Structure 1
Amino acid sequence: MTQLSRRQALGLASSAALLLAGCGFELRREPELQFKTLALQGFQPASPLTLELRRQIERSTVQLLDDPNRADVVLEARRDTQRKTQVVPGIAGQVREWQLRLELDYLVRTPAGEILLPRTELLMTRDMNYAEGQALAKEQEELQLFRAMQYDAAAQVMRRLAAVRLKN
């Protein structure tokens, strides 16, 4: 690079930074929860979604408790499932496309049973084409798609939890 092009690059970079700062652009931050303790109830203990949700809660300022009676807020799962169904059958019975589904029904309540967020159904789907000759690669793609859906679902739950306000 010549001296002139370095200056131009530096000028462009600083101009872009000023434009982004001036327009109100801000990276998404962790949701700020308005309570101190939270308990999970009804979640499958070792499910990948539960593990991702625990990970995101532990990054916040909220303490995760095992006993729902001692928590300020209880996040209760009514359904936590993920499944894979055949969508497009090929010739000779070969599968051509799968649909991956993650379903989570939950509500947020106090230990006394007062509903803070009514029952919410979260449904995520991803379509995945399939070829027998690429079975190992498609297996890895399936795992990555499920992992991405679990992350998205946990992030959506965390944003919903940020809207919870306790009555004093």
Structure 2
Amino acid sequence: MRAPRPYLMRALLALLLAALVAGCGFQLRGTGGTYNMPFHRIFVGIPDTSPLGNDLKRNLRGADTITIVDKPEESDAQVLLVSEARGRSILSLNSLGRAREYLLTYTVVFRVLDGKGATLLGPTEIALRRNLAYDETQVLAKEAEANQLYRDMQGDAVQQMIRRLAALKPPAQG
């Protein structure tokens, strides 16, 4: 049995188009993961026990030009955590008055100082929200889903922090 010609032509055309797009260096915006940071030495003033701090340090270490230092005096910039909060509120109720959907929130407030303590970026808030459909017959699964959503929001917050760091003006040399 012979394959119909229109399907074969479409498949070949799609394959050719995919090869052309891959060969030209096309890349979706934001997938490179590299930023041109104006700093070379950064102090991260977030406790080592914080998952946010560990995630931020890991992402900063991914950049070849960044060194994370242990003392603020040795740095070009200091990233300091002002606050971090998780929240959960009821978004909708079912006919029995039980929660059917929750709104999960994750808020991070941070600021950036230069090595001498002068403010480069005042307190900046990153607030993220996700909806969670709730089913009381699957409590453990929904709790695991909520934890995964919080981890995803934390990762999004770290990426936003890095983009804001990259957008800062380099400190004046003098």
* TM-score, shorter chain, exceeding 0.5: yes
Deviations 1:103-139 (A, max 9, x none): 1111111121222223211101112121210112101
Aligned 8 A contact 1:44 1:80 in 2: no
Tell me which of 67, 74, 81 is aligned to 1:70.
74
Q: How does 1:1-168 map to 2 (within 5 A)?
A: 9-18=11-20, 25-27=26-28, 28-29=31-32, 30-41=34-45, 43-61=46-64, 62-90=66-94, 94-164=98-168, 165-168=170-173
Question: How much does 1:89 deviate?
Answer: 4.8
Question: How much does 1:8 deviate?
Answer: 5.2
Question: How much does 1:98 deviate?
Answer: 2.0
Unpaired runs of at least 5, structure 2? none
Question: How much does 1:152 deviate?
Answer: 0.7
Aligned 8 A contact 1:84 1:98 in 2: yes
Amino acid across the alignment from 1:26:
Q
Unpaired runs of at least 5, structure 1? none
Note the aligned Cα RMSD (angstroms): 2.8
**TM-score (structure 2 length as normaliser):** 0.80
More deviation in 126-135 or 80-89?
80-89
**TM-score (structure 1 length as normaliser):** 0.82
- Give the share of equivalent positions with the same residue, in percent: 30
Question: How much does 1:64 deviate?
Answer: 1.2
Question: How much does 1:52 deviate?
Answer: 1.6
Q: 1:6 to 1:167 in 2, by over 3 A?
A: farther
Count of residues in correspondence between the two structures: 166
Higher normalized contact order (CA 8 Å, seq sep 6+, divided by chain length) = 1
- Structure with the bigger percentage of helix: 1
